[in-house]
Every structure is written in structure tokens, then in C-alpha cells.
Amino acid sequence: MLAFRLAWLCLPFAGYGVFDAVLSSRSDPVQITSFIGLWLLWSVVLAVSLIPSASLLTLFRVLVPISVVLTIWGSIESDISFSSVVLLIATSFAASMCLLPTVGFWFVNGSSYGDEIRVPLRPPGPFLLGPIALAWMLIAGTVIFPPLLIASQQFFYGVVCAVVGVICCFFAYRSLSALAKRWLVFVPAGLVVHDGMVVADPFLVRRTAIRNIQPAPISSQGKDLTLSSIGLALEVSLIESVDLSLQINPLAPPEIVPVDSFLVAPSLTSLTLEEAKRRSIPSL
């Protein structure tokens, strides 16, 4: 996070000249609204980057990429300069950093309890093909456009955009928050699958019931809890079958199925295996 904070601290120095040139020809209300919005965005992100909390991860990952969009717009509207290039590099670096698995790990473990390690799970594969980007665009559009429309005295469009945007943002942000709260959790008693998108309740497997944890072979017959996540999955094999309460369809009642192995897709595979070894859980 130190590298992110250093890049983020550079933004006011590089961005002042770029946005000053772009906004100088705009009306006073637009200039004031824009500068307040830019400083508010920068301040909130900087503050959030100092507070490791699972509840702030979604906010962090939603706000940081907005800076890239604003930088591209500012660079197009103004003449290309050294400041605009530096600003684009800094915001792109910050946006890339905020999506790293290690950053997610830092946030979610900031609110962990006692001897507990939370490893974020990778997002479902189909969600990467559009839903996540669409949800982010809805939120970003609501953050950017209504204030500017109202400042431009286009009150009707600004209010309509704000009302519709807030309603859409509620569902979009809630969905993104659900993705950020999918974890594989190491606890003193064993292993917990904390994933409200696939299990009805956190699924605890006691350490003494685990045969081993290993990279899942192609021929694995384990219950797939990865939701088609892209990348390497881990197979958790059990000594004996246990009941698992599945809740893939939120409108249907939970389905109780016996499992003797299951697949998960932690975003930090090597760290997961190392933590399993540290806790004396058999792993390969």
C-alpha cells in the first residue's frame, strides 16, 4: 500500500495544471463543483487507503479507477503535456494497484478476529465478462454526471440522472460488496468457506476432518464452489463426508448435499497453501 499512497500523493501536483487548463473556460459553478469533487475524491481515497477494513474494500476499488477516467478526459480536453503524462501514469498505476489480490488481502484482514486469516476468493468467471464493469460504470456515472449537470444549470437532467443513478447504484454497490466478502478463512478450529453467493451459512471444516489441500486436478470430483472462477482452484479433501448447505439461487431454499471434497479459488494460492502448512493442515 505504500507504493499506492506515494502514487496517489503525486496526483494533486500533476493534476492541478491539467484540470485548471480544462476548467478555466467553464462557468464558475462548474469550476467550483469540479474542484470540490476532485479534492473530495482524492481525500476520501487517501483516507480509505490508511484504514484496513473489509467494509471499505469495495469503496476503494470503485473510487480509484474513476481517477483514470477523469485523467483521460482531462488529457483529451487539454493539450498533452508532461503533467498530463505523469498524471495518466500515476492514476493508471494506482488503479492497477487497487485491484491486486494482495491489496484485497490487506483490507479484509484489517477487520479479522484474533487468530484468523482471510484469503479473498476470485470473482466468478462470468462476472468478469461484463457485470462487474457495468456495475462500476453505473456508480462512476452517478458520481460524475449529476453534480456537473446541476452545476451547468441543467437541473431536470441532473435530478433525473441522480435519482435513477442512486437507485441503480444501490443494487450495483451491494452486488460488488457481496463479491468483496467472499473469503476462505483460516481459524483455530480449521477452515471456513465464507461465501454468501454459494453457501447458505459459513461452512466450517474442522482441521481434524481435512485429509489434505492441494491444487485441483482436472479429473477432480469435488463439489465446485468456485462459481467458474478463472485460474487455479484448490481441492479440499475430507476424511469423511459432511453436509454442505448450498444457496446458489437466493430465491430457492438451501440445498443440503453431502461432500467429501470441494473446490475453492483463493486469489492468493501460494499464501493459502503456506498458511495451511503453518496451521498443520496437510497440503501439497
187/227 same-domain check: yes
Domain final position from 131, 160, 181: 181
12/49 same-domain check: yes
Query: What are the tens digits of pLDDT across the range 153-189?
Result: 999 999 999 999 999 999 999 999 999 999 999 999 9
Give the whole-angstrom CA distance, residue 50 versus residue 44: 10
Tell me the CA distances in angstroms from 14 to 21, 68, 91, one per residue in order: 12, 13, 10
Domain final position from 138, 159, 181: 181
Say whether pLDDT at 269 is over 90. Answer: yes
Range of the domain at 92: 1-113
Say whether pLDDT at 267 is over 90. Answer: yes
Which grid coordinates belong to 170? 444501490
| 263 in any annotated domain | yes
Q: How many domains does the chain contain in total? A: 3
Say whether pLDDT at 283 is over 90. Answer: no
Alpha helices in the chain (DSSP H): 2-23, 28-48, 57-77, 82-98, 101-108, 131-151, 155-180, 269-278
208/268 same-domain check: yes
262/170 same-domain check: no
Mean pLDDT estimate for the chain: 91
Could you tell me the pLDDT band of residue 141, with boundaries at 50, 70 and 90? Answer: very high
Which grid coordinates belong to 206? 474442522
| 15 in any annotated domain | yes
217/241 same-domain check: yes
Could you tell me the pLDDT band of residue 284, with boundaries at 50, 70 and 90? Answer: confident
Could you tell me the pLDDT band of residue 17, with boundaries at 50, 70 and 90? Answer: confident
Q: According to the model, what pLDDT value does residue 84 have?
A: 84
9/99 same-domain check: yes
Residue pair 225/263 in contact by the 8 Å Cβ criterion? yes
Give the strand pairing for 203-206 and 190-194: antiparallel
Q: According to the model, what pLDDT value does residue 151 have?
A: 92
Say whether pLDDT at 251 is over 80. Answer: no
| 157 in any annotated domain | yes
Query: What are the tens digits of pLDDT across the range 206-241?
Result: 998 999 999 998 888 889 999 889 989 999 999 988
pTM over 0.85: yes
Q: According to the model, what pLDDT value does residue 14 have?
A: 85
Give the strand pairing for 223-224 and 183-187: unpaired
| 284 in any annotated domain | no
Could you tell me the pLDDT band of residue 22, with boundaries at 50, 70 and 90? Answer: confident
**% of the chain beyond a pLDDT of 70:** 100
Give the whole-angstrom CA distance, residue 277 versus residue 284: 9
Say whether pLDDT at 249 is over 80. Answer: no
167/191 same-domain check: no
Query: What are the tens digits of pLDDT across the range 38-97?
Result: 999 999 999 999 999 999 999 999 999 999 999 998 888 877 778 889 999 999 999 999
Domain final position from 181, 202, 226: 181
**% of the chain beyond a pLDDT of 90:** 64
Task: Measure the N-to-C terminal CA separation of the chain; round to a whole number of Å.
Answer: 30
198/170 same-domain check: no
Average pLDDT over every residue of 197-212: 90
